[in-house]
Structure 1
Amino acid sequence: MKIASINVNGIREAVGRGFLDWLANQDADVICVQNLKAKSFELDDSILFPEGYEGYFLDAEEDGFSGVGLYCRKIPKAIMYGLGFPQCDNEARFLQADYDRFSIASFLMPDGSDMEAKQSFMNQYQEYLSKMVKKRREYIICGTWHIAHKTIDLANWADNQTTPGFRPEERAWMDQVFGPMGYIDTFREINRDASQYTWWPKLDQDVPRMRQEGWRLDYQIVGPEFRRHVVDAWIDRDATFSEFAPLIVEYDLDL
Structure 2
Amino acid sequence: MRVASFNVNGIRAAQRRGFEEWLAGRGCDVVALQEVRCPAPMLPEGVFGDYHLAYDQGTINGRNGVAVLTRERPAAVRAWGSGVLVRASGETHLEEEGHDLAWPLSRDLRRFAAEGRYVEVDLADAPVTIASLYLPKGGLPAELQVPGRMRGEPDGGAKYDRKMRFLAGFARHLTAARRASASRGREYLVVGDFNVAHTRQDLKNWRTNGRSEGFLPEEREWFSSILSPRSLVDVVRHVHPDEDGPYSWWSWMGQSFAKNVGWRIDYHLASPRLARTATSAVVDREASYEERLSDHAPVVVDYAFPACPPPPGGCAGGG
Structure 2 equivalent of residue 216 of structure 1: 264
Residue type at the aligned position of 1:69: A
Q: Tell me, yes or no, if structure 1 residue 151 matches structure 2 residue 175.
A: no
TM-score, length-normalised on structure 1? 0.92
Is 1:133–1:181's contact at 8 Å kept on the other side of the alignment?
Answer: no
Name the CA shift for 1:21/1:3 in 2 (closer, same or farther; >3 Å).
Answer: same
Specify the alignment match of 2:117 in structure 1: 93
For the residues of structure 1 that align with 2:279 and 2:49, how far apart are their CA atoms? 27
d(CA) in 2 for partners of 1:117 and 1:173? Answer: 15
Does the CA contact (< 8 Å) of 1:55 and 1:70 recur in 2?
yes
> Any gaps of 5 or more consecutive residues in structure 1?
none
Over 3 Å counting, the alpha-carbon distance change for 1:175 and 1:63 in structure 2 is same
Mapping 1:104-143, distance limit 5 Å: 104-113=130-139, 114-135=159-180, 136=182, 137-143=186-192
Q: What SS is found at the alignment partner of 1:142?
A: strand
Q: Tell me if the contact between 1:87 and 1:121 (Cα under 8 Å) persists in the aligned partners.
A: no
Specify the alignment match of 1:52 in structure 2. 50
Structure 2 unpaired stretches of 5+? 81-100, 140-158, 309-319
| CA-CA distance at 1:67 after TM superposition | 0.5
Q: Is the 8 A contact 1:60 1:67 kept in 2?
A: yes
Larger radius of gyration: 2
Provide the C-alpha distance between the structure 1 equivalents of 2:229 and 2:165, rounded to a whole number of angstroms.
20
Q: CA shift at 1:156, angstroms?
A: 1.2
Q: Distance in 1 between matches of 2:173 and 2:8?
A: 25
Higher mean displacement: 77-86 or 211-220? 77-86
Is residue 251 of structure 2 the alignment partner of residue 201 of structure 1?
yes
1:247 is aligned to 299
Match of 1:67 among 44, 65, 68: 65
Contact 1:81–1:96 (8 Å) recurs in 2: yes
Alpha-carbon separation, structure 1, partners of 2:52 and 2:223 = 32
Q: Is 1:229 matched up with 2:274?
A: no
- Is the CA contact 2:230–2:272 (under 8 Å) kept in the aligned structure 1? no
Retained in 2: the 8 A contact 1:130–1:181? no
What per-residue deviation string (whole Å, max 9, x for no partner) do you get for residues 215-245 of structure 1?
Answer: 0000010112222211110101026110101
> Shift of the alpha carbon at 1:5?
0.7
Structure 2 distance, partners of 1:180, 1:29, is: 26
1:8 equivalent in alignment to 2:60: no
Structure 1 position 208, deviation (Å): 8.8
**Equivalent residue, structure 1, for 2:35:** 35
Higher mean alpha-carbon deviation, 83-92 vs 65-74, is at 83-92
For 2:245 and 2:273, locate their aligned partners in 1 and report how far apart those are by CA, in whole Å. Answer: 28
Do 1:203 and 1:212's aligned partners in 2 also have CA atoms closer than 8 Å? no
Aligned residues: 251
Of 178-187 and 139-148, deviating more is 178-187
Question: d(CA) in 2 for partners of 1:14 and 1:220?
Answer: 22
141-150 or 222-231, larger mean C-alpha shift = 222-231
Deviations 1:176-224 (A, max 9, x none): 01138731000011113114210012455xx694622110000010112
More displaced, 232-241 or 2-11?
Answer: 232-241
Q: Report the Cα distance in structure 1 between the residues aligned to 2:252 and 2:41, rounded to whole angstroms.
A: 32
| AA in 1 matched with 2:132 | S
TM-score by length of 2: 0.74
Aligned Cα root-mean-square deviation (Å): 1.9
Residue 36 of structure 1 and its aligned partner are, at CA, apart by 1.2
Paired amino acid for 2:296: F
Secondary structure, counterpart of 2:237 in structure 1: helix
Amino acid at match of 1:91: E
Matched-pair identity in %: 31
Aligned with 1:41: secondary structure? helix
